[in-house]
Amino acid sequence: MVGRSMELRSETPASGASSNAGVVPGRLARFVRSQSPLHWLLSLIVLVVAIELIRSVSTNENFEWGVVGDYLFSHSILMGLLRTLELTVIAEFVGYVLGALLAIMRLSGAPLAVAASWFYVWFFRGTPLLVQLIFWYNLGALYRHISLNIPFGPALFSADANSVITPFTAAILGLGLNSAAYMAEIFRSGIQSIHHGQSEAALALGMSRKQMLRHVIMPQAMRVIIPPASNELIGMLKYSALVSVLAYQDLLYSAQIIYNRTYQTIPLLIVVSIWYIVVTTVLTIGQSYVERHFSRGIRQSRQRRSVSRGAGTSTDRPAAPATAAPIT
């Protein structure tokens, strides 16, 4: 399992581009404009490497592009893709809801809630996701029966653990509960990034804590929360490939079933990669739309001048007491 921090770094394209050249972006920009010999040399290297790469990929027969084409839209691959999407959406939903709850507990100030939230994050961030997945899958070894009771009352729900814990439920539990720990920290940092003057202004107007959170804090915190939360969702899409160890037929496992039979390992992994990249691209586009929605009032400073100009100067003056409307 790849560490989360490494994953984050590899998903930031901008940092990769500038570190390649070994100069800070600002200097690089100036240097490109000056078009020195080094600029031409760098461009030449990039061009040569790119041509060489394309040539090798297209001419190496071991890639078996024909096989890739055969399986790209095959029924079992598409079914696997569907299951991967289903798993990603449900597990991330669990992660978002539980994460938000954990963040609110952590910020509530109630000692037991704070401790419980802290403990949860500590535990689920402290153990590998792969271990958690296998652990949930083997829950039946720990508890034979799973039941939901009213405290000291009758059971609402009771079942044999082995029938409840299918590869699917183990995958949802493993992925969702793990993601909740990360989401809790993302929500918490987002909420804490909002200046306390905002909550004071809301409270002074007579808003309850719930109204303040919903109408004042969260809409602003979302701007901070969305980029890492999107990262988490895109990460979830790919971490879900881990459930192939539980023999759940997601995208990767569907491909594995095929290449275990046909030994066309590389082309089928390419098929899988293509689908992951397609879905990631769609999610990234969606992210930019959501980000735009939540940056209302933040990115509009450029319009400032036009608004000031649009209104006459005579209106930009307090009404004289004589003509002022009475306070109602």
* Region of 24-32, 169-177, 214-222, 251-259 interacting with another protein (CB under 8 A): 214-222
Q: Which two tokens stand for residue 55?
A: 């040539």
Per-residue exposure over 51-84, b if at least 16 CB sit within 10 Å of its own CB, e if not: eeeeeeeeeeeeebeebbeebeeeeebeebbebb
243 C-beta neighbours (distance < 10 Å), count: 27
The amino acid at 152:
F
Question: Residue 1 carries which DSSP code?
Answer: -
Measured from the CB atom, the residue of 19 and 208 that comes closer to another protein is 208
Contact between 107 and another protein by CB under 8 A: the answer reads: no
Please give the Cα distance from 318 to 316 (Å, whole number).
7
Q: How many chain residues touch another protein (CB under 8 A)? A: 43
What's the rounded Cα separation, in Å, for the pair 60 and 49? 16
Question: In the bound complex, what is the minimum distance in angstroms from residue 101's beta carbon to another protein?
Answer: 20
Q: Among residues 6 and 325, whose Cβ is nearest to another protein?
A: 325
In three-state secondary structure terms, 222 is helix
Q: Which two tokens stand for residue 61?
A: 């027969």
Interface residue with another protein, options 8, 215, 262, 277 (CB under 8 A): 215
Please identify, among the stretches 81-89, 107-115, 152-160, 298-306, the one whose residues bind another protein according to the rule CB under 8 A: 298-306
Residue 78 region, left (φ>0) first, then alpha (ψ -120 to 50), else beta?
A: alpha
> Which one, 75 or 309, has the nearer CB to another protein?
309
Q: How many C-alpha atoms does 148 have within 13 Å on its Cβ side?
A: 3
Least distance (Å) from another protein to the CB of residue 323? 10
How many residues in total does the chain contain? 328
Question: Using CB under 8 A, which residues numbered 220 to 249 contact another protein?
Answer: 220
Q: How far is the CB of 280 from another protein (least distance, A)?
A: 29
- Name the one range near another protein by CB under 8 A: 7-15, 17-25, 128-136, 295-303: 295-303
The token pair at 123 is 């535990």
Judged by CB under 8 A, the residue of 7, 219, 280, 283 near another protein is 219
Please state the φ and ψ torsions of residue 168, each to the nearest 5 degrees.
-65, -50
- 328 forms part of the interface with another protein (CB under 8 A): yes
Q: Does 209 engage in binding with another protein (CB under 8 A)?
A: yes
Within positions 184 to 203, which residues make up the interface with another protein, using CB under 8 A?
195, 197-198, 200-203
Closest by Cα among 15, 18, 12 to 227: 12
138 belongs to the binding site for another protein (CB under 8 A): no
Residues that bind another protein (CB under 8 A): 195, 197-198, 200-209, 211, 215-216, 219-220, 294, 296-298, 300-301, 303-304, 307-308, 310-312, 315-321, 324-328
